[in-house]
C-alpha cells in the first residue's frame, strides 16, 4: 500500500516552454502532497506543500509564479514549471502523506528528471 | 528549529562487513525519525521509521536503527553489507514540532567493495 506515482520520469524540453509533472497517490487519499527539488549529489529541498482544494504553501525563495502547483483532487497534484530555463534542470520529487496515520509519514514518488535545453 | 546531521558524506565498506551510517538530530520536541534509500535516478524508498514505542526499529533489507534520545541519534546499521546496498541514504526528522515538515540530512553515499 501507500504507492505514489510520478509522471513523467524524465522530460527534456526547450528553453521557454512549460512542463507539467503529475503526482498521484494510487491506493490512498492524500490531503497533503509535497514537492521537492534535488540537485546532483545534494539533499532534497522542500519547494512547496500542496493542499487539496486550496493554494499551495511555498517555501521561502521559491517563485510561485514559476512553479505552479495544483491539487485538484485527493489523489492528484501537479507541478508546472513555467517558461523553463536551463537553471530549472533538476530532479523533482513529490511525496504524499496518509490522512489519519501520522501526517508526518510521507511516501515518495520515483522522481522526474527535467532537462531544459 | 529542526536539523539533521549525517556524519560522513561517503562511506565505503567491504561486502559482508558491518554498515554503520550516522545520523544526529536536533529537535525541541520528541521527533519522528526516518531513513530513506535512494538508488540512482529514482525516488526515495522508506527503509524504516521511528515514531513511538520500541527504540530499536527494524526495517527492510536487513537494516535497523536505534533511537537514542540521550545522544539525539538515530544511526542506521546492517550486520552484513551486500552489493545491492550501494546507494544514497537520507536521514530525516519530522514530528509535532515541525509543522509536519520533513527535514532531511545531506545524505550519505554508501559504496560496497567486492
Pairing of strands B24-26, B32-38: unpaired
- CB within 8 Å: A108 and B44: yes
- The grid cell for A84 is 523553463
Residue B100: predicted pLDDT: 63
Dihedral angle at the C-alpha atoms of A54, A55, A60, A63, nearest 10 degrees? 160
Alpha-carbon gap, residue A63 to A51, rounded angstroms: 17
Chain B residues within an 8 Å CB radius of A46: 101-102
How far is residue B76 CA from its own chain's centroid? Answer: 5
pLDDT tens-digit series, residues A66-94:
999 998 888 999 999 999 999 999 999 99
pLDDT tens-digit series, residues B73-96:
999 999 999 999 999 999 998 876
**A5 pLDDT exceeds 60?**
yes
A8: preceding bond cis by omega (within 30 degrees):
yes
Alpha-carbon gap, residue B73 to A40, rounded angstroms: 26
**A101 pLDDT exceeds 60?**
no
Choice among B22-26, B40-44, B51-55, B59-63 with the minimum mean pLDDT: B40-44
Residue B108: predicted pLDDT: 95
Residue B82: predicted pLDDT: 96
Please give the full DSSP string across A66-110, using - where no structure is assigned: TEEEEEEETTEEEEEE-S--GGG-EEEEEEEE-SSS-TT-EEE--
Q: Using pLDDT thresholds of 50, 70 and 90, give the confidence band for residue A32.
A: confident
- CB within 8 Å: A111 and B104: no
Residue B97: predicted pLDDT: 61
Residue B85 phi, psi dihedral angles, 5° rounding: -80, -10
Residue A83: predicted pLDDT: 96
Residues of A with CB under 8 A from a CB of B: 4, 6, 32, 34, 41-44, 46, 49, 91, 93, 95, 97, 102-111, 113
Q: Using pLDDT thresholds of 50, 70 and 90, give the confidence band for residue A52.
A: confident
How far is residue B30 CA from its own chain's centroid? Answer: 17
Residue B94: predicted pLDDT: 83
B51 in the Ramachandran plot: left (φ > 0), alpha (ψ -120 to 50) or beta?
Answer: alpha
Residue A50: predicted pLDDT: 86
- B114 and B83 in contact (C-beta within 8 Å)? yes
Q: Whose CA is closest to A22, among A104, A92, A105?
A: A92
First to last CA, chain B: 41
C-alpha distances (whole Å) from B17 to each of B13, B25, B30, B38, B110 are 6, 26, 32, 21, 12
- Mean pLDDT score of chain A, rounded to an integer? 89
Higher pLDDT, residue A41 or B76? B76
**A100 pLDDT exceeds 70?**
no
Distance from the Cα of B7 to chain A's closest Cα (Å) equals: 14
**B56 pLDDT exceeds 90?**
yes
**B99 pLDDT exceeds 80?**
no
Amino acid at each position: 500500500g501507500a504507492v505514489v506515482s510520478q509522471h513523467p520520469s524524465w522530460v527534456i524540453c526547450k528553453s521557454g516552454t512549460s512542463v507539467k509533472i503529475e503526482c498521484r497517490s494510487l491506493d490512498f487519499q492524500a490531503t497533503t502532497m509535497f514537492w521537492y527539488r534535488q540537485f546532483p549529489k545534494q539533499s532534497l529541498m522542500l519547494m512547496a506543500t500542496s493542499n487539496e482544494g486550496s493554494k499551495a504553501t511555498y517555501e521561502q525563495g521559491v517563485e510561485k509564479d514559476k512553479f505552479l502547483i495544483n491539487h485538484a483532487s485527493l489523489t492528484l497534484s501537479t507541478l508546472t514549471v513555467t517558461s523553463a530555463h536551463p537553471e530549472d534542470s533538476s530532479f523533482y520529487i513529490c511525496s504524499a502523506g496518509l490522512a489519519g496515520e501520522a501526517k508526518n509519514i510521507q511516501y515518495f514518488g520515483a522522481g522526474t528528471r527535467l532537462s531544459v535545453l | 528549529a529542526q536539523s539533521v546531521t549525517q556524519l560522513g558524506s561517503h562511506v565505503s565498506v567491504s561486502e559482508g562487513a558491518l554498515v554503520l551510517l550516522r545520523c544526529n538530530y536536533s529537535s525541541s520536541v520528541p521527533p519522528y525519525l526516518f531513513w530513506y534509500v535512494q538508488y540512482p535516478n529514482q525516488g526515495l524508498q522508506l527503509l524504516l521509521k521511528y515514531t513511538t514505542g520500541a527504540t530499536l526499529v527494524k526495517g527492510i533489507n536487513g537494516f535497523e536503527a536505534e533511537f537514542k534520545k540521550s545522544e539525539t541519534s538515530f544511526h542506521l546499521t546492517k550486520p552484513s553489507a551486500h552489493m545491492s546496498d550501494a546507494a544514497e541514504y537520507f536521514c530525516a526528522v519530522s514530528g509535532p514540532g515541525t509543522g509536519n515538515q520533513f527535514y532531511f540530512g545531506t545524505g550519505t553515499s554508501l559504496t560496497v567493495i567486492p
